Structure 1
């Protein structure tokens, strides 16, 4: 019986990836394979997945960074698959948002059981009656599903980067992001000293959502650190 779930595998060892892909496809899953962390992030952004299997030792972007980056965007189950057995690696992976840590070598039957278990829990979570559009005090509405932002009932013309910044902040309310974290997550490039990109885009975003820095309703400046989203949801 064909399953509907899509699984993203991020593994730089082609032989291991081939075994995983073949096995999971025989199980009925739709599988996408990425061989680098950066490729895995690009694949994740280009499609919708139900679960991700991520190795730690990856070129371009390591598995921990990829796990953290995906978790900021999505609640899908993330399973780290690694030859590292040290408890510090496991703790680090789980602290960054991974749901499970599987140590190589492992049996394919065990992998299937863990995937099935996490997908069952995720389906229950997704079936909760939770609106994708959130309405905040002072007229701001964010529809994450349709990727539309309204202010006082009127749609806002945000640039793609402004939209990404707002979504990242709003999906992680009261979490403080440094300017470097925001830049590296949204632009997917290493932040350089003297880079003023985030400051400029936050200023433009604030102007469009009519949010003054000194009396912030939505995006608060954490002086010396960065920014956080403080919008109050209307219940």
Structure 2
């Protein structure tokens, strides 16, 4: 297994996190440890990871919410590591996009085996889809997710970091309607408050840059009373 693989551990129990971190480090992986869900989410967005180990019961942001956010953002393998062994937790976690569920206590040999297995599959997936990271749509829009660049009629658009994150969130999940509160929580990593107009302002600015301000939306559609969704028509 390549040493370039980076693993993110999100676990609030210091002893368990230390044992996993030290063991995976000895196995040749580069490991980052976050002690809260919010810290884990921030770390994930700040670097490129090949796999994420997630505990469920954590402060600030629980593991279920973190799994949901991770899957909206990336196809990276997610392995839940939790003391909760009831079927309901397993079903919920896997339903939110986790790839596997490991119940505490577990052997370090089993942890290594599962990590390596998921990394092998992810490496094959990444190689297969590497050249599919640039998506072209009608009306001249192209999104390069790998290099985080957006083009309109072959011109590089100057988007703010938040505008780009909003567009990527919607475009990676086409035709799925996101409530404004959900967009705010995902992009700003904060709990939405009543009357928050931040998302609306950023969507308006983003639409202007995409020249998507007509009555019939080309890329970002308003679902009245609910939120927004990406409806870009992808070219073959």
- The aligned counterpart of 1:118 is 118
Q: Deviations over 1:72-127 (max 9, x none)?
A: 11111000000001111111100111000111011111111111111111111011
| Match status 1:17 vs 2:17 | yes
Structure 2 residue ranges without an equivalent (≥5): none
Mapped to 1, the partners of 2:2 and 2:147 lie a distance apart of 28
Residue 190 of structure 1: how far off its partner (Å): 0.7
CA contact (8 A) 1:140 1:152 kept: yes
1:1-235 equivalent positions in 2, closer than 5 A: 3-129=3-129, 130-212=131-213, 214-235=215-236
CA 1:97–1:213 in structure 2 vs 1: closer, same or farther (change >3 Å)? farther
Residue 213 of structure 1: how far off its partner (Å): 5.5
Residue 212 of structure 1: how far off its partner (Å): 2.5
Mapped to 1, the partners of 2:153 and 2:99 lie a distance apart of 39
Mapped to 2, the partners of 1:47 and 1:2 lie a distance apart of 17
Mapped to 2, the partners of 1:60 and 1:131 lie a distance apart of 35
CA contact (8 A) 1:67 1:97 kept: yes
CA 1:213–1:60 in structure 2 vs 1: closer, same or farther (change >3 Å)? farther
Structure 1 residue ranges without an equivalent (≥5): none
CA contact (8 A) 1:219 1:227 kept: yes
Say what the alpha-carbon RMSD is for the aligned residues.
1.2
More displaced, 15-24 or 123-132? 123-132
Calculate the TM-score normalised by the size of structure 1. 0.97
Residue 214 of structure 1: how far off its partner (Å): 2.5
Calculate the TM-score normalised by the size of structure 2. 0.96
